[in-house]
Amino acid sequence: MTSSIKQDGTNQVNIITSTAERQAAVEFAKAGAVRPEIVGAALEEISRDQDVSEAMFNVLETQKLLGGKASITLIPARAALLADLLAAPGEAPRAKA
């Protein structure tokens, strides 16, 4: 008697679990389907304001650069000699940590 009650409980838990997993999969699929529409609408709204659009894409570009493995050297705007020295052949100067 006890083992049949235990088995019945296990079966009910399995049914509940599989139903929840199926419902979650359906909801994630729905979310995945509407994501492009939501992102597109947000980008359309952002693109209406040129300043906001430029700022956002500058931030995204900076994040991408910082996330990469390339080294970045920032040069002041009017530093032609410094730029020439940095571009010269030889070992690149290393930043101190």
Q: Confidence class of residue 85 from pLDDT cuts 50, 70 and 90?
A: confident
Range of the structural domain that residue 66 is part of: 2-87
- Total structural domains in the chain? 1
Query: Which pLDDT belongs to residue 2?
Result: 84
In this predicted model, what pLDDT tens digit does every residue of 36-74 receive, in sequence order? 999 999 999 999 999 999 999 999 998 998 888 877 777
In order of 40, 61, 63, 85, the CA distances from 50 in angstroms are: 17, 16, 20, 36
Supply the pTM of this predicted model: 0.42
In a domain, 94, yes or no: no
Mean pLDDT score of the chain: 85
Enumerate residues 6+ apart whose C-beta is below 8 A from 76: 82
Query: Which pLDDT belongs to residue 96?
Result: 60
